[in-house]
Amino acid sequence: MASSGLQLLGFLLSLAGVAATVAATFMVEWKKQYQGKGHRIYEGLWMSCSGNERTTCEIHESLLKLPTEVQATRAVILLSLFLSALALMVSTVGMKCTRFMDGMAKSKSTTAMIGGIMFMISGLLTITITSCYEFGKAVFVSWAGGLLTVAGGAFLSCGRCCPAKSSESLSSNQLLPTTNPKSNYV
């Protein structure tokens, strides 16, 4: 039962990490600059905003006009989110609290471990690409998302390391002691 709890904890941590990564992806404050008195410019992965008290935002029209770091961050974050979506499906099938693959305990735990490894790779991709970007609020949210995803993947993979004790059911022949094993036959 303990490994089932670890798997559930890992799944929930990974889910929180993916949610934070999605939120960071759509945030505007990846890079923050000040120009003059009170005039701020925010650059995000999908749009840029500027203004004093009143902010105006524009969506990035062309992918080719964007700086290389924005293009790379976009691509790697989207790859990370795609890998996380696959990991969600794979780990759901392999978790002990689901009914998928019930008769195959070894394959089920291996599937959960593969899902956990996919989550860890996804989180490492997020942390790595975010570390190459300039500081803004979205960078910190993305780091937190990557760290939660890695930690959740580690807990999911750890379920394979400490297998739960299986309770074997006893048949009626094992409950009644007999001196002659052939005496039960008619």
| Residue 174 forms part of a structural domain | no
Is pLDDT of 86 > 90? Answer: yes
The pTM (predicted TM-score) of the whole model is 0.78
CATH number, position 103: 1.20.140.150
Q: What is residue 32's three-state secondary structure?
A: strand
55 DSSP β-pair partners: 51
Q: What is residue 72's three-state secondary structure?
A: helix
Between CA 82 and CA 177 the distance in angstroms is 58
Domain extent at residue 115: 2-27+66-163
pLDDT grade for 122, boundaries at 50, 70 and 90? very high
| Residue 76 forms part of a structural domain | yes
| Residue 20 forms part of a structural domain | yes
Q: Which two tokens stand for residue 125?
A: 């991709």
Amino acid at 145: G
Between CA 21 and CA 17 the distance in angstroms is 6
pLDDT grade for 26, boundaries at 50, 70 and 90? very high
Whole-number average pLDDT of the chain: 81
Between CA 4 and CA 102 the distance in angstroms is 14
Q: What is residue 161's three-state secondary structure?
A: helix
How confident is the model over 125-165, as pLDDT tens digits? 999 999 887 778 899 999 999 999 999 999 888 865 655 55
DSSP 34: E
| Residue 144 forms part of a structural domain | yes
Between CA 18 and CA 40 the distance in angstroms is 29
| Helix runs in the chain, H state only | 2-26, 68-94, 105-131, 137-161, 172-175
Residue among 164, 137, 183 at smallest CA distance from 28: 137
Is there a contact between 146 and 129 (Cβ–Cβ < 8 Å)?
Answer: no
Domain count across the chain: 1
